[in-house]
């Protein structure tokens, strides 16, 4: 692979091995028996979508937690500096780590006005994440179904809608950080 550093080539090789280990190597689908190909491809797609939903949930949780940190600790010191203090460590270990996204978000909503669309998307993200993280077949769930804007999250259309909405939410929190709200 010309143009890549030794480290980058190592990462590519490691990713190939990880994808193979986790049976996510869709580029090599013809290596699987014909009878397994469709099922394996569907499972790979579901794994990729699950990863996106859980990663996005984790990122939203981080944005909300950051808002709480600013509320309690201010903006005079940055987070790396704050992490060196016992109070900040205790706050993170015994408050932020113990709370899931929605209770943290409710606290932030009590502190500032959050646009309805952003609040709704975060609440729907929470339900979606619960469905895809806690059920192998979330389509069969009554409450936390794998649907975004009336489309299956496992469809390209559903994932695109999810991605667009989450991009809007991310931008909202990024603007807050820059003091535009």
Is residue 54 within 8 Å of 132, Cβ to Cβ?
yes
Helices (H), 2-115: 6-21, 34-73, 79-82, 86-91, 101-111
Taking the C-alpha atoms of residue 123 and residue 115, their distance in angstroms, rounded to an integer, is 13
pLDDT at 180: 42
| Cα 152 from chain centroid (whole Å) | 17
Residue 145 clears pLDDT 70, i.e. is over it: yes
Is residue 69 within 8 Å of 95, Cβ to Cβ?
no
Q: What is the overall mean pLDDT for the chain?
A: 92
Q: What is the pTM of this model?
A: 0.88
Sign of dihedral through CA atoms 53, 56, 60, 66? positive
State the greatest distance between any 2 C-alpha atoms of the chain, in Å, as a whole number: 61
Query: Once rounded to an integer, what is the mean pLDDT over residues 91-102?
Result: 96
Q: Which residues contact 174 (CB under 8 A, 6 or more apart)?
A: none
pLDDT at 83: 95
3-state DSSP assignment of residue 53: helix
Q: What are phi and psi of 145, to 5 degrees?
A: -75, 160
Task: Tell me the per-residue pLDDT of 118-141, one tens digit each, with 9 for 90 and over.
Answer: 999 999 999 999 989 887 777 777
DSSP string, 136-167: SSGGG-SSS-SEETTEETTSHHHHHHHHHHHH
Q: What are phi and psi of 94, to 5 degrees?
A: -105, -5
pLDDT at 179: 62
Residue 176 clears pLDDT 90, i.e. is over it: no
**147: its two tokens:** 């649907």
Is residue 23 within 8 Å of 40, Cβ to Cβ?
yes
Sorting pLDDT into bands at 50, 70 and 90, what band is 84? very high
pLDDT at 68: 96
Q: Lowest-confidence range among 14-23, 51-60, 159-168? A: 14-23
Task: Tell me the per-residue pLDDT of 15-46, one tens digit each, with 9 for 90 and over.
Answer: 999 998 988 889 889 989 999 999 999 999 99
């Amino acid at each position: 692979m010309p143009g890549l550093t030794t480290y980058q080539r190592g990462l590519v090789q490691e990713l190939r091995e990880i994808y193979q280990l986790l049976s996510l190597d869709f580029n090599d689908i013809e290596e699987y028996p014909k009878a397994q190909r469709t099922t394996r491809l569907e499972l790979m797609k579901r794994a990729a979508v699950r990863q996106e939903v859980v990663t996005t949930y984790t990122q939203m949780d981080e944005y909300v937690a950051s808002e709480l940190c600013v509320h309690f600790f201010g903006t005079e010191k940055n987070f790396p500096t704050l992490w060196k203090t016992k109070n900040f460590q205790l706050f993170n270990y015994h408050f932020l780590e113990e709370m899931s996204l929605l209770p943290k978000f409710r606290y932030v909503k009590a502190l500032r006005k959050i646009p309805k669309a952003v609040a709704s998307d975060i609440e729907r993200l929470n339900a979606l994440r619960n469905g895809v993280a806690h059920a192998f077949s979330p389509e069969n769930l009554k409450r936390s179904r794998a649907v975004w804007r009336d489309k299956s999250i496992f469809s390209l259309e559903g994932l695109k809608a999810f991605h667009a909405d989450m991009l809007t939410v991310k931008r909202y929190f990024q603007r807050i950080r820059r003091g535009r709200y």
